[in-house]
Structure 1
Amino acid sequence: MESTDNTFSVDKAEDSSGFLLWQVTNLWQREIKKALVKYDLTHSQYVLLASTHWLALQKQDVTQVLLSTHTKIDPMTTSTVLRALQTKGLLQRQEHATDTRAKSVALTETGKQVIKQAVIVVEDFDRLFFAALGAGAAEFNKKLIALLAYTNEAE
């Protein structure tokens, strides 16, 4: 017998985009976490290390604020994670050359070696994971970017 309670606006859980996104995100993050164990990195540490490397390759002046904006990780968490990475000897933070309020961030040689290896593993996993999208992967990415734009406007 079907319930008459209409708490939810969907008939099936699979009709809820948010619930599906939550499930897929958890599955993806769980597998990324497994892939990063051998590098002794959390997912947040990986994202900040990879972003530091990416932005440096793009000739950006890498600061904590830029990393926070680029990764969408809040500034306080960014600072905490960067401190942990500095303690591990994977990056260095120092006073910015021209902005006394800012901290410049750079990878150490060890940090570069670690992130170059970790990126290969993560990108290989992503290729396998998102292969289920087939030719629709580019369109999927466009839709994710649209969702990010919405959340930026809501802030």
Structure 2
Amino acid sequence: MSKDSENASPGFLVWRLSTKWRVAVDRAVTPLGLTHAQYALLASLYGMQRHGERPSQRRLADHTGLEPLYVSKLARTLETAGLIERTRDPRDPRAVQLALTEQGRERTRQAIKVVQGLLQQFLEPLGGLDSARTREFTRDLAILLDVPLDPSAAKEQS
């Protein structure tokens, strides 16, 4: 552990870790013509499609934690690049469904492979991707992600 991290607050460390990961993924997927946000959208869509889902932009926004407007912008860019298809939902004409094209599936598989290698490297200090310590870390992260944060409530408490 670095001296700077030793006495840092958990909030600062979460911010630094998320920034470090975002930058590393950005650099790793740039040769594939992707950004970290595009990768997050494509990899999520890939996983959802593998489970038989054809998600709406809204559903994908909820899944990734990205703002719906940002997902819409990313989807248009990825559609222009030939990586996804956007179609109207036959059950709800206001909703847009997303699906990977064949080119999108191939590019996403390549990106997932690259990011999995990066993840293995990142988690090595915890014993690697399949270690008990990594599983515990993953559970802790999931618990924290499930905590609702309301900035207005924080103001009221202080």
2:45 touches 2:100 (CA, 8 Å); kept in 1?
yes
Report the residue type matching 1:62 in the other structure: P
Maintained 8 Å contact 1:14/1:20: no
Q: Out of 130, 133, 137, which is 1:136 matched to?
A: 133
Supply the distance in 1 between the matched residues of 2:62 and 2:91 (Cα, whole angstroms). Answer: 20
User: How far apart, CA to CA, are the structure 1 residues paired with 2:28 and 2:71?
Assistant: 22
2:26 counterpart of 1:33: yes
Q: Residues of 2 paired with 1:108 and 1:61: CA distance?
A: 12
Distance in 1 of aligned mates of 2:112 and 2:93: 32
TM-score by length of 2: 0.85
Report the CA distance between 1:154 and its aligned residue. Answer: 4.1
Deviation for aligned residue 1:80: 0.5
The residue aligned with 2:145 is 148
SS in 1 for 2:86: strand
Q: Is the radius of gyration larger for structure 1 or structure 2? A: 1
Give a deviation string over 1:64-103, Cα, whole Å, max 9, x none. Answer: 0110010010100010111110111100101112111111
1:43 correspondence with 2:40: no
CA RMSD of aligned residues (A): 1.6
- Gapped runs of 5+ residues in structure 2? 152-158
> Moved runs in structure 1, 4+ residues, more than 2 A?
12-15
SS of alignment partner, residue 147 of structure 2: helix
Q: d(CA) in 2 for partners of 1:74 and 1:92?
A: 19
For 1:100, the aligned partner's letter is P
- AA aligned opposite 1:123: Q
Q: Which residue of 1 is the match for residue 17 of structure 2?
A: 24
> What whole-Å deviation, never above 9, does each CA across 1:117-154 have from its counterpart, x for those lacking one?
11000011101101212231111111111111103x64
1:16 and 1:39 mapped to 2: Cα distance? Answer: 36
Offset from partner CA, 1:7-47 (integer Å, 9 cap, x none): xxxxx873400111111222221111111011110111001
Cα distance in 2 between the residues matched to 1:26 and 1:65: 25
Aligned residues: 143
- Mean CA deviation greater in 114-123 or 95-104: 95-104
Find the partner of 1:53 among 29, 46, 49.
46
C-alpha contact 1:13 1:19 (8 A) present in aligned 2: no
TM-score normalised per structure 1: 0.86
1:77 corresponding residue in structure 2: 70
Deviations 1:92-117 (A, max 9, x none): 10111211111110111110110011
Structure 1 portions without partners, runs of 5+:
1-11
